[in-house]
A and B are shown apart, each in its own frame.
Chain A
Amino acid sequence: MAVIDHDAELARAGANVRGWMGGIFFFVRRYPLGAVGAVLMTIFVATALFADQISAFDPFTTNARISLAPPGGEHLLGADFMGRDVFARIVYGARISLAVGVGATAVGCIIGVLIGLMSGFFGGWCDLIVQRLMDIMQSLPLLVMALVMAASLGPSLTNTIIAIAIPLVPNVARIIRSNTLSLREMPFVEAARAIGMSETRIAIVHVLPNTLAPLIVLATAQLGSAILVESALAFLGLGVPEPHPSWGRMLSESAAEYVRTAPWLVIFPGVAISAVVFGTNLFGDAIRDILDPRQRL
């Protein structure tokens, strides 16, 4: 029988975690990949919020003299063919990505939660029709659906958010509905009825908060794909219109003509997209582990 070091075991379980610094340190030790994700996301969000302070150049100003300037020197990541600073465009592009990612995820989740909750809690013919509708929507891949929506709505920031949000709805509605179906049979729902709560109030006060854990996991996962789809739409010319800097369009503008002569125009936006999506996915995985009730003690 091996000797058990109680202190070490307790430390591993996080018994001696004190304060928020301690909490962060524990998180880093326990979920190193999640911590990497958290760092990437923090950088991303901070970049978007403080774009004005971070970038010395304006992302819209063109300057023919520095057209296709290589990275280094005054322009850290070089300049594009119109002579716009790539670093500035990437920094400001984070705003677009964040707005579309968070906006689309939030809108998609709100609509999805409403539909899923109604469909699962009240059931009946409404459930049947809504779920078949969700089936139809889910039969198309996210990108294809978003493409069709974006093409029909026309290019603008709001339309891009809607175009990405709508295809996210079925995923959310499905998860919420399936959770609601099992939750509505729980004794605490019966107990809530026994103190005289109305069905709608039970759905909102008792059932909805119980579905939040899977929803948060899903939302972080969706955030990554929403950002990715935004880039894809922009790449195809259906995203946020010029002159707003979108990472996807920065790629598409340069991919064909300058990939050989000025590869930094392709590499840096590509890296930005990858890093952010990678970050949200890592962070999402860690969140899933943390919120998994089987691991919570």
Chain B
Amino acid sequence: MSLQAATPSNSAKQATETNRVLEVEDLQTYFYTRSGLVKAVDGVSFSLARGATLAIVGESGCGKSVTALSLMRLVADPPGRIVGGRVRLEGVDLLGLDEAAMRDIRGNQISMVFQEPMTSLNPVMTIGRQISEALILHQRLSHKAALMRAIEMLQLVGIPEPKQRAREYPHQLSGGMRQRAMIAMALACNPRVLLADEPTSALDVTIQAQILELIAKLQRELGTAVILITHDLGVVAETAERVIVMYAGRKVEEAAVGELFARPLHPYTRGLMNSIPRLALMRREAGQQRLQEIPGIVPALSNLPQACTFAPRCAFADDKCRGQFPPYQEKRPDHWAACWHSDRIAEKVNG
């Protein structure tokens, strides 16, 4: 059992009981593979206030997507299984529900936007029909009524000529339009929580901004809470209120977005920030600095040592890091991190 599991979620303090729409406690999703036990999500806890935006950040393979799939209970079994924890949506523990009850929740109270708008829509079904599906399932609307509502949704997500678009097939829409349609599909039943798993990664930069703005706008209008999963810190800074940084299946840092960017307390977070290209770096007068990277790669999630998992890639690592897993502690008010040397890291940033 990881140390993180013992500590209660910090955001719980500021969010009152009733204000919390989603509470995740000590979520553990393991994969039973040929190469051994992979703890893809290992004791992650957080809570989400109504209408708030939480970002989960980390590089590929850190467990952020599996966290999202676990919340939806869509982890492929086998090889994956949610082995522990609680996911409470409006007080209901999703992990305790049977499959039929869970289907009523999916797309209705919690829904998801996927990374790939190109392949996440059925190529032989019209856009309108696909958005209607969720409405027919959950709100028992007739096909006609559902289609009318789907057209309204298309209008809401800013697709021009929604009536005509509803009759078109996915290949007739551009990538950005398709992602808008995906968002319309996810929000059709007005869910409490929207999981956006890298919603802009497959889109080009100008469209990215539009999609993020759209999600923020709809969030304000519909009061949906959003969990934004991304590896792009720029996206985080623009949209999120709170940030969780994940590494190797665990939370390594959590804070409000301003605090995190001002004072990262975990070397991994710092590394992520330093590895964003800046224009100043490219100018000659800046002395042609090289773009910093985090050395090494994410460790294989099977057979992680009982020590800091980031230690092999960390400039600050010493024997203590390599011997003991750092506790996940509140280092500053409402700013949590799992690092033995967070004070040294804070100094370095400020100095």
Contact = CB atoms under 8 A, between A and B. Distances in A.
Interface of A: 186-188, 190-198, 205-206, 209-210, 212
Nearest to A207: B122
Contacts of B185: 191, 195
A190 B74 contact: yes
Contacts of A191: 112, 114, 120-121, 182, 185
B111 interface: yes
Interface of B: 72, 74, 100, 103-108, 111-112, 114, 116, 119-125, 133-134, 137-138, 182, 185-186, 188
B291 to A, nearest CB: 32
Contacts of A205: 125, 133
Contacts of A195: 106-107, 111, 133-134, 137, 185-186, 188
Q: Is the interface of A mostly helix, strand, loop or mixed?
A: helix
A162 B74 CA distance: 42
Contact of A196 (B116, B121, B125, B138): B138
B74 A194 contact: yes
Nearest to B99: A198
A187 B114 contact: yes
Nearest to A206: B122
A3 B108 CA distance: 58
Contacts of A212: 124
Given A196-B134, A209-B124, A210-B124, 16 more contacts: A186-B119, A187-B116, A187-B119, A188-B122, A190-B114, A190-B120, A193-B74, A193-B106, A194-B107, A195-B133, A195-B134, A195-B137, A195-B188, A205-B133, A209-B125, A210-B122
A198 B134 CA distance: 11
B103 A198 contact: yes
Nearest to A183: B122
A194 B106 contact: yes
A201 to B, nearest CB: 8
Nearest to A205: B133
B124 A187 contact: no
A77 to B, nearest CB: 46
Nearest to A296: B171
Contacts of A190: 74, 114, 120
B111 A194 contact: yes
